Amino acid sequence: MTVADEAPGGGRRYALLLAMGDSEYVREVHGGYFGVFVGAFGCDGDTWDSFRVYDGQYPAPGDLDGYDGFVITGSPSDAHGDDEPWILRLCEFVRTLHAMEKRVLGVCFGHQVLCRALGGRVGKSSSGWDLGVRMVNLVTLDELQRFEFLKDLQELPTSAPLIQIHQDEVLELPPGATVLAHSEKTGVEMFAVGDHVLGVQGHPEMDMGILHHIIDIFVETNTITVCILL
C-alpha cells in the first residue's frame, strides 16, 4: 500500500483521496491539505492515510475492507471535462466503493466526481463562479434522520454559511440520490445516495485564511471571468 501521510490512532480508519497538490501557504500553515481535512473531520483515536490519486496513488484492493470511510477532496481540475485518465480511474474507484457500500464523502470536486461516477451529470454553472461564503439551506431534521448515518442528529439549523469555490455544479442527480441542501445559486449543495455516499459542494474543511489565499491566486492568474462574489 502506498501511503503519502498517516495520522496514527486506535479508532476508526479513513482514507483521504487527494485530488490536488498543496500550495506553499497550505503547507506552511496547515501541513498540507492532509492537515486541513484531518483537522476538520478527524477525531481522537482515528487513523488517516492519504493517497495522491492525481498521481495514481490508491489503497490496495485488499485493504479497502479495513477502512471505515473515504474522503475525496476538491481539485482545480474539472470533474466533467476532458477524460483525464486519473479522473476516469477515480470514477471507477468510486463505483467500486459504492458496490461495497463503503462510506464516501466528496467535497467540491469530490462531490461532482461522486455524481459523475454514479450516473449523474456535472457541468459548468450558467452563472459562473461562486466564490465566498454563501448561506446553504438544509432540508428538515426529519428528512435527514431518515438516513442511517444521520439518525443521531438532535438539532439542526435551517441554513448555514459555507465557503464556496466552484464554477462547476451537479446538473442531474445520480439514480437514487436525494438532495439534502440547496442555495440561491446552486440547486444541489449536498446530496446522498443510500446511507453511504454524501456529496457536499461547499468547503466545510476550509477556513477564511485558505479562502483569501485562493482568491489571491485567482486574481493573480486572471482565473475568474464571471463570478458571484459574496
d(CA 137, CA 149) in angstroms, rounded, equals: 20
d(CA 170, CA 189) in angstroms, rounded, equals: 8
Q: Which of 30, 80, 111, 203 is catalytic?
A: 203
Other CB atoms within a 10 A radius of the CB of residue 169 amount to 23
Cα dist. 221→93, 122, 140, 214 in Å? 32, 25, 41, 11
Q: Which of 30, 115, 189, 205 is catalytic?
A: 205
Q: Which three cell numbers stand for residue 165?
A: 469555490
Q: Which of 30, 80, 98, 108 is catalytic?
A: 108
CA-CA-CA-CA torsion for 49, 53, 56, 62, nearest 10 degrees? 50
Looking at the DSSP assignment, which residues form a beta bridge with residue 138? 181
Q: Which residues make Cβ contacts (< 8 Å) with residue 122, sequence separation at least 6?
A: 79, 80, 112, 115, 116, 168, 169, 170, 171
Q: Which residues make Cβ contacts (< 8 Å) with residue 126, sequence separation at least 6?
A: none
- The question of whether 184 is a catalytic residue gets the answer no
- The question of whether 115 is a catalytic residue gets the answer no
Cα dist. 85→53, 59, 74 in Å? 11, 17, 17
- The question of whether 155 is a catalytic residue gets the answer no
Where in the sequence numbering do the catalytic residues fall?
108, 203, 205
